């Protein structure tokens, strides 16, 4: 039981390049989330998927797209990376089977855009 896994762990992009961050969970959770963490800012929600087939914007969705590929996988795409997207990205999952939808987090992807 690996929990929430994310790939890659590190990535360096040039401005304008695109990439997809991958996230998978093996806990049979319905809901999945993408957050970004910046120094002194805490974590901010980018997008979430309450259930397979649905996605919704969070607090900071601009410049990102998401795909809920199936119940296990939720990807985050940067179409044209900008230096402002340099951050640590965390994926999380949750489920109505848990008492209060507490979220379980992956190890993060550290992205640098030059």
Partner 1 sequence: AQSVTQLGSHVSVSEGALVLLRCNYSSSVPPYLFWYVQYPNQGLQLLLKYTSAATLVKGINGFEAEFKKSETSFHLTKPSAHMSDAAEYFCAVRAGGGADGLTFGKGTHLIIQP
**Can you give the binding site for partner 1, defined by CB under 8 A?**
4, 30-31, 33, 35, 40-45, 48, 50-51, 58-59, 90, 92, 94, 96, 99-108
Partnered with residue 67 across adjacent β-strands are: 75
Nearest approach in angstroms of CB 15 to partner 1 is 25
**Closest CB to partner 1 among residues 67, 104:** 104
DSSP E strands: which ranges in the chain? 4-7, 10-13, 19-25, 31-38, 42-49, 56-57, 65-68, 74-78, 87-94, 104-105, 109-113
Kindly state the smallest distance separating residue 58's Cβ from partner 1, in Å: 5
Nearer to partner 1 (CB atom), residue 17 or residue 51? 51
The residue length of the chain stands at: 114
* Nearest distance in Å: CB 105, partner 1: 4
């Amino acid at each position: 039981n690996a929990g929430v896994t994310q790939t890659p762990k590190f990535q360096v992009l040039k401005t304008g390049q695109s990439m997809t961050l991958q996230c998978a969970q093996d806990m049979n959770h319905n809901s999945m989330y993408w957050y970004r963490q910046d120094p002194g800012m805490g974590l901010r929600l980018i997008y979430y998927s309450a259930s397979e087939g649905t996605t919704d914007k969070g607090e900071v969705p601009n410049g990102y797209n998401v795909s809920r590929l199936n119940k296990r996988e939720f990807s985050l795409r940067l179409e044209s990376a900008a230096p402002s997207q340099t951050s640590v990205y965390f994926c999380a999952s949750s489920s109505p089977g848990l008492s209060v939808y507490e979220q379980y987090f992956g190890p993060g992807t550290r992205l640098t855009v030059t």
